[in-house]
Amino acid sequence: MNRFSYARPGSVADAVRELAGNPAAKVIAGGTNLVDLMKYNVERPTHLVDVARLPGLGGIEEGEEGGLRIGALVSNTAAAYDERVGERYPLLASAILAGASPQLRNAATTGGNLLQRTRCYYFYDDATPCNKRVPGSGCPAKEGQNRIHAILGTSESCIATHPSDMCVALAALEAVVRVAGPEGERSIPFAEFHRLPGDRPEKDTTLGADEIVLSVDLPEPRFRTNYTYLKLRDRLSYAFALVSVAVALEMDGDTIAEARIALGGVAHKPWRVPEAEALLRGRTPDRSNFEAAAARILQGAKGFGHNDFKIELARRAVIRALKQAADGTPQSQTDKRIQ
């Protein structure tokens, strides 16, 4: 690990000041991803700004229209087991508990989960080129070991995936990320928070280098009954998703009134296709409609060899997840048998 200086500012404004004008500074909260990356020399900050004790960001508060505001410093554990989260956004609680281990969820924060970086082997290995780690150096994943890599939204520069489970649920729930910077606060719709790699794969998000996350704001709860988070991975627990699907449905009798489908493990950001969701609106929850939605989501999917299987896996996972949600039988995160 490289050497660095350390500051523990007492306010959000002071934290932003620590970051402004110092591009080599990094924010640390739980540290579960950053410290790991520093040990691999992937991240080499010269200054760490510890925000873990900033006042006002550690709680879950009532939001607008029955929504919730989850402070950036709320641990993944605290969010997942919060009674209000469980009652209003069971999809979110389920997705959080599908990720990492209890130890990591105790340390990891809501804001940090959003900002965690890809687990691409080449990104982590500083002996290899990687456009995300060293812009312009190349992407060995495209012709290399790419079993865990993206099949949607890739670019010539990067085929990495975003590793979060929590963010897949937040995308489906259309959360809003509230951030603070030198110019004050702004709100970023979840779909605009994470980026596709394009020709700037070093930028995972639209968060400014001198901005910090304040909260994740959840809108009016609408998906308490018909939801699921289906995660498929190489081991039954404590592994990143090969493919995951968050589904939230609003049913009107036997008809789907609203559908949200977000995929994890397949792209540089949680993957949503509004056109596929529109295909389900006003339709009955039957297999042919689910197949049509899945086909639309996977339209244009491209494998790179080892990850070709993800295209069919994702198609089937979407169909299965839609059925689980429509039936009101969400995937258990303990009993991993898929019904």
Partner 1 sequence: MADLDLPTRQGFAPDDSFRGGAAALPGEIPVTLTINGRKQELHVRPWTTLLDLLREDLSLYGTKKGCDHGQCGACTVLIDGQRMNSCLALAVTKDGCEITTIEGLEGADGTLHAMQEAFIEHDAFQCGYCTPGQICSAVALVNEGHAKTAEEIREAMSGNLCRCGAYTNIVDAIQDVMAQGAKADGVKAHGAAKMEAAK
By the criterion CB under 8 A, which residues form the site for partner 1? Answer: 1-6, 8, 28, 31-32, 35-36, 38-39, 48, 50, 52, 77, 81, 100-104, 106-107, 237-238, 333-335
- Least Å from the CB of residue 250 to partner 1: 29
Nearer of residues 3 and 143 to partner 1, judged by Cβ = 3
- Least Å from the CB of residue 75 to partner 1: 8
- Least Å from the CB of residue 29 to partner 1: 9
Nearer of residues 195 and 336 to partner 1, judged by Cβ = 336
Nearer of residues 57 and 139 to partner 1, judged by Cβ = 57
Nearer of residues 128 and 155 to partner 1, judged by Cβ = 128
- Residues in a beta bridge with 180: 185, 212
- Least Å from the CB of residue 92 to partner 1: 17
- Least Å from the CB of residue 94 to partner 1: 13
- Least Å from the CB of residue 61 to partner 1: 22
- Residues in a beta bridge with 69: 61, 217
The strand pair at 255-264 and 243-252 is best described as antiparallel
Nearer of residues 54 and 175 to partner 1, judged by Cβ = 54
Nearer of residues 36 and 308 to partner 1, judged by Cβ = 36
- Least Å from the CB of residue 71 to partner 1: 17
State the Cα torsion 264-267-272-274 to the nearest 10°. Answer: -160
Considering only CA atoms, give the Rg of the chain: 19
Nearer of residues 238 and 309 to partner 1, judged by Cβ = 238
Nearer of residues 227 and 240 to partner 1, judged by Cβ = 240
CA 330 to chain centre: 19
Angle of CA points 22, 23, 25, to nearest 5°? 70
- Least Å from the CB of residue 282 to partner 1: 38
Three-class secondary structure assignment of the chain = CCCCEEECCCCHHHHHHHHCCCCCEEEECCCCCHHHHHHCCCCCCCEEEECCCCCCCCCEEECHHHCEEEECCCEHHHHHHCHHHHHHCHHHHHHHHCCCCHHHHHHCEHHHHHHCCCCCHHHHCCCCCCCCCCCCCCCCCCCCCCCCCCCCCCCCCCCCCCCCCHHHHHHHCCCEEEEEECCEEEEEEHHHHECCCCCCCCCCECCCCCCEEEEEEECCCCCCCEEEEEEECCCCCCCCCCEEEEEEEEEECCEEEEEEEEEECCCCCCEECHHHHHHHCCCCCCHHHHHHHHHHHCCCCCCCCCCCHHHHHHHHHHHHHHHHHHHCCCCCCCCCCCC
Nearer of residues 213 and 279 to partner 1, judged by Cβ = 213
- Least Å from the CB of residue 117 to partner 1: 14
